[in-house]
Amino acid sequence: MSKEAVAKVRLEVVPSADLLTQLPAAFDTTESVSVTCLPHHGPARTVQTSVNLARLGYHTVPHLAARSITGEAELNSLLLQLQEAGVSELFLVDGDRRTPAGPYSWSGELLEAVNAYSPDFSIGIAGYPEGHPHLSQEHLSSLLMKAPLASSMVTQMCFSAEAISRYLRKIRKSGIQIPVWVGVPGPVSVGKLVSLGARLGVGRSLKLAHGTGMAGAIWRRGDFLSYDSGRLIREVHQELAGDPLFAGFHVYTFNDLGRLPGLLDDLRALQRTSTLAPGSTFIPLFPAKI
């Protein structure tokens, strides 16, 4: 089974009640969708939503949170459901649950368990260009332990193209060579971003009135009602086009799907007008649309 990611842009969504009707109106069913696993939802809801999206035709990438899985029996049941639905890619995280529900306290343990169940799953792991409030520098070294069993990485939402580029150089220097999906926000209200900032690990950016973090991005636009990531995406693409580790964009939608078409149109326009330095390789963001 191929370990290669099948799309150059994927959307991250929350398994809400209206997702199955709202998402196809904003995003083609041949595309790639990543489904979160929140502590109050649990892994069963994530898996069921992923199965339903796979039946619609989406390449679905369910999140499995280590600290929310009660044990091997539940894990095997979840993986079997996904296999039967044709889901071949997973994204493994520690999870925000304070007390583990079972034997898996971090994503490395879960990664080994999934690989033991079936090596056919492509497995994504998390990267943090600006750090994470619950991870020390010592814990970040776990990336080197997980990378040999992983097929890709997804970075946490970041508002600085420079920080993302620096992070890719750092992990490449450490010997990590897996494709990296760069996490960027979709069109969303600034209020929602601020409320989620600390939990998402961008708290330091929130405190900066200048610079390249989240606050700097908002101040440059002078727009305190909503954040449009179009400029950030263009800056990231300029920094990383041709980088062998750059897999594409992972867009955090917060299920604000009504405003997605504009962002997707911008990405397609970027594809059409992109110019690269001699010798670089253009990475297409979307398949051609008629």
Asked whether residue 4 is domain-assigned, the answer is no
Residue 83 domain flag = yes
CATH number at residue 37: 3.20.20.220
Identify whether 283 is part of a domain: no
> What pLDDT is recorded for position 256?
87
Q: Does 285 fall in a domain? A: no
Q: How many domains is the chain partitioned into structurally? A: 1
Give me the domain span that covers residue 232.
9-271
Q: For the whole prediction, is pTM greater than 0.85?
A: no
* Long-range contacts of residues 15-22, Cβ cutoff 8 Å, at least 24 apart: 15/41, 15/45, 15/46, 15/48, 15/49, 16/255, 19/49, 19/53, 19/255, 20/49, 20/52, 20/53, 20/56, 22/255, 22/257
Tens-digit pLDDT profile for the chain (290 aa)? 333 434 489 999 999 999 999 999 999 999 999 999 988 889 999 999 999 999 999 999 999 999 999 999 999 999 999 999 999 999 999 998 989 999 999 999 999 999 999 999 999 999 988 876 555 465 568 899 999 999 999 998 888 899 899 999 988 988 899 999 999 988 777 666 666 554 554 444 444 323 444 555 544 444 445 666 788 888 998 899 889 899 999 999 989 898 888 888 777 666 655 544 444 443 444 443 33
